[in-house]
Amino acid sequence: MLFKSRSQNQISQCADNDKPAKHIKTGKITVIACLLLAGQALVSPAYAGHPGLQFEQSSDITDRVIIKYKNNSSLNSINALAEDSESNAHSHTGVNFKYVRRNHEGAHVMKLQQHQHLAELSNMLNALNSDPDVEYAEADLLLKPLLTPNDPRYNEQWGYYETAGGLNLPAAWDMTRGAGAVIAVVDTGYRPHIDLVDNILPGYDMISSTSVSQDGNRRDSDATDPGDYEPAGACGSGSPARNSSWHGTHVSGTIAAVGNNSIGVTGVAYQAKILPVRALGRCGGYMSDIADAIIWAAGGSVSGVPANANPADVINLSLGGAGNCSNTQQSAINKARSLGATIVVAAGNENRNASSSTPANCNGVVVVAATNRSGGKASYSNYGSVVDVAAPGGQKSSGTSYGILSTINSGRTTPANDSYGFYQGTSMATPHIAGVAALLYATNPSITPTQVEQILKSTARPFPSTCSQCGSGIADAFAAVNAATGNTPTPPPAGGSPSANTLVNGVAKTGLSDQRGSQTRFTIDVPAGASNLKFDITGGSGDADLYIKFGSAPTSSSYDCRPYINGNRETCNISTAQAGTYHVMLVAYSSYSGVSLVSNFAETGGSAPVVNTSINETGLSAARGQWLHYTLDVPAGKTNFRVNIANGSGDADLYVRFGATPTSNSYNCRPYRNGNSESCNFNNPQAGTWYVSLKAYSNFAGVSLNARYQ
């Protein structure tokens, strides 16, 4: 079956008009990413330098059929198999066939003498299907493509971080960047782009036809993309000329372009690995080849092809077309799922119900719709009850930068130089989901395909703009990764009564702790006329990040204050406080413990702020060389400020400094004695913030800290 990509303004290979650890594979995801482009039969340029790049409507022409017999047990050799298959097919249809090969489930791929339309093939297929010895016979149609890092063009990858249309990826990257996960991209192959090649594993070229492959051979271990350009008439009478799309390279870049390398763009799962499986070339790719590619990518056995040494957790197949789900497709999907794979499919680019697009209408798949930069439905995206979730696919009619930026090649026909381009389509939306799925596997290698689908759907956020029948929402990478770890972000407390999550002016919450990636939320009600509102976290170990927002709960991308510095000494000062509820969120950048949180404000009439008058911490511990930091604001006119540590085991050293965090070489007081009995005393202390720190000269535990002024 030939699936074609279409685009209005750019190429999209989707089904629409346009630290590493050893990875134990207990389940795999196969993501079928549509290669379809948004648009009409002829699409406008996909990117600068390729003014003629476009995709046609889906073709119904093929020169192959697939025949599955109920019993092949009497066929004892390949030759006998070929002769019997050709003879049986000819006897029922009067058509001469040439035997091509046997596929993964024992069906036979047969070549006709010439290309025919499906309407012309219908009588022949009906005759074959009437044979009681035939399990099924179907056309082998060509499927076609549907089209915070330091990377300098990351700011153009709006689909990762923007509040309206983005995936909330930066917060997810605080927990995982995909290390250990493998994503297979069944597509046009790949180019060894400088921004991608370090994340490429050895793949395979699964194309069995030299007219499609354009590299002069059939199946082999070279999955690089020689170009899928098409001269006029190459794909049927009247078919237009088309430049090479480099579609597989674009899709792969969205999933796993190398991140934090100061080059170009970054991928959704930029520490994961890409397994390229080439199945699309000139005029698309045969359904039988794509089915074998899915099986091989998932770790299954394909006759004549070496075993896959890197079975994929995720398989991205950005392709599709009109029609029902074929037996060959469904069989491949079922086999992949039996190997632990989840199939994720692009909804298609025709702005119609996705139930008429395949493989979106196959069983056992997760179907992805495309959204625009505003978070609404992309104009071309398919929709309907079969759609599960949505992701950024771009819409270049609003401007080139509103497309999806990723890696491509500058060659119009054959490969030239590394480049970047904006594409659009459900082909671009699907690799976003493939990348998020990879983050889930990197977080929890034992996760199952069913759990992955449930997490993607249950954690999706509501559409900020109209997207009717686009699934459960826009994928939220941070929420999904949290769910995969078993953590659920702590919701804001309901109601207004005091609780463990309600802050009181000047009263500290102490001994706070949480695991990496977790969120803990608090609220404080600030009265009218209050001023000098301040939030502080201090002390403990690890790294907690402070977020503040008035009126609603902060998120990783929406807040009024977020210091975002290393350690647990962060402050938010709000000089002009609003009357109402302030929301506080602590996010565990890394696991933390022993942290204190306090909020202070001055009451109406300008009275002095209500502040902590002391620090009282017990049971403190740290490993050798580790620091614990605290602060205390000392008002003007105080006569004495005293700090002391006591109790416990090991050796903690006390450091005190005014106005800044002490260091090993900069402090106002450092007793520097053996054990944990040390004190610092200041008469007539300077008004302002005093910083108190403990450094572990050796491991210590059970230490008490007290700081007080009078």
Q: For 243-264, write each residue's pLDDT tens digit.
A: 999 999 999 999 999 998 999 9
What confidence score (pLDDT) does residue 309 get?
95
Q: What residues act catalytically?
A: 187, 247, 427
| CATH 2.60.120.380 domain locations along the chain | 489-609, 613-710
Strand partners, 658: 690
What confidence score (pLDDT) does residue 553 get?
81
What confidence score (pLDDT) does residue 613 get?
67
Rounded Cα gap, residues 434 and 438, in angstroms:
6
Q: How far is CA 657 from the centre of its chain?
A: 45
Q: pLDDT tens-digit profile of 173-187?
A: 988 999 999 999 999
Can you tell me the mean pLDDT for 301-324? 91
What confidence score (pLDDT) does residue 426 get?
95
Other CB atoms within a 10 A radius of the CB of residue 706 amount to: 16
Spell out the residues 6+ positions from residue 583 whose beta carbon is closer than 8 angstroms to its own. 492, 521, 522, 523, 548, 549, 550, 551, 552, 553, 554
What confidence score (pLDDT) does residue 578 get?
86
What confidence score (pLDDT) does residue 93 get?
59
- Helices (H), ranges, 130-225: 158-161, 169-173, 210-213
Q: pTM here?
A: 0.61
Spell out the residues 6+ positions from residue 394 whose beta carbon is closer than 8 angstroms to its own. 10, 12, 159, 370, 372, 373, 378, 402, 403, 404, 422, 423, 424, 425, 428
Rounded Cα gap, residues 69 and 73, in angstroms:
10
Rounded Cα gap, residues 142 and 3, in angstroms:
6
* DSSP sequence for 260-328: SSSSS---TTTTSEEEEEE--BTTBEEHHHHHHHHHHHTT---TTSPPPSS--SEEE--EEEESPPPHH
Rounded Cα gap, residues 190 and 178, in angstroms:
20
What confidence score (pLDDT) does residue 342 get?
80
Rg of the chain taking only CA atoms, in angstroms: 31
328: amino acid identity, one letter: T
Q: Closest Cα partner for 252 from 183, 159, 308?
A: 183
Mean pLDDT rounded to a whole number for the chain: 81
Q: Per-residue pLDDT for 17 more than 50?
A: no
| Under 8 Å between Cβ of 560 and 574 | yes
Q: At what angle do helices 247-256 and 426-443 cross, to 10 degrees?
A: 40
Strand partners, 276: 185
What confidence score (pLDDT) does residue 305 get?
96
Other CB atoms within a 10 A radius of the CB of residue 507 amount to: 12
Q: Which of 23-37, 354-368, 668-682 has the lowest mean pLDDT?
A: 23-37
- CA-to-CA dists, residue 443 to 88, 429, 461, 643, angstroms: 52, 22, 20, 43
Spell out the residues 6+ positions from residue 355 whose beta carbon is closer than 8 angstroms to its own. 361, 384, 385, 386
Q: Which of 164-173, 211-220, 307-316, 482-491 has the lowest mean pLDDT?
A: 482-491
Rounded Cα gap, residues 528 and 581, in angstroms:
11
| CATH 3.30.70.260 domain locations along the chain | 61-140
pLDDT band at 90 (very low <50, low <70, confident <90, very high): low
- CA-to-CA dists, residue 409 to 148, 180, 328, 555, angstroms: 24, 27, 33, 37
Q: Closest Cα partner for 165 from 474, 554, 558?
A: 474
17: amino acid identity, one letter: N
Spell out the residues 6+ positions from residue 495 whose beta carbon is closer than 8 angstroms to its own. none
| Under 8 Å between Cβ of 17 and 205 | no
Q: Give the count of alpha carbons within 13 A of 706, CB side only.
A: 11
Q: How far is CA 497 from the centre of its chain?
A: 39
What confidence score (pLDDT) does residue 552 get?
82
Can you tell me the mean pLDDT for 25-36? 34
Q: Per-residue pLDDT for 9 more than 50?
A: no
The domain 489-609: what is its CATH number? Answer: 2.60.120.380
Q: Closest Cα partner for 222 from 306, 100, 102, 320?
A: 306
Q: pLDDT tens-digit profile of 351-400?
A: 999 998 888 888 888 899 999 999 999 999 999 999 999 999 999 988 89
What confidence score (pLDDT) does residue 702 get?
84
Q: Locate 211 and state its tokens.
A: 């007219």
User: Is 117 in a helix, a strand, or coil?
Assistant: strand
Look up residue 402 and give its DSSP letter. G
| CATH 3.40.50.200 domain locations along the chain | 30-54+146-232+239-458
| Under 8 Å between Cβ of 256 and 182 | no
CATH of 613-710, one of 1.10.760.10, 3.10.129.10, 2.60.120.380, 1.10.150.20: 2.60.120.380
CATH of 61-140, one of 3.20.20.10, 3.40.50.720, 3.40.710.10, 3.30.70.260: 3.30.70.260
Can you tell me the mean pLDDT for 31-39? 36
Q: Locate 596 and state its tokens.
A: 């204190």
What confidence score (pLDDT) does residue 141 get?
81
Rounded Cα gap, residues 243 and 245, in angstroms:
6
- Helices (H), ranges, 14-69: none
Rounded Cα gap, residues 209 and 100, in angstroms:
10
| Under 8 Å between Cβ of 456 and 433 | yes
Rounded Cα gap, residues 223 and 307, in angstroms:
15
Rounded Cα gap, residues 580 and 496, in angstroms:
11
What confidence score (pLDDT) does residue 596 get?
86
* DSSP sequence for 495-560: SSS--TTB-BTTBPEEEEEE-TT-EEEEEEEE-TT-EEEEEEEE-SEEEEEEEEEESS---SS--S
The domain 30-54+146-232+239-458: what is its CATH number? Answer: 3.40.50.200
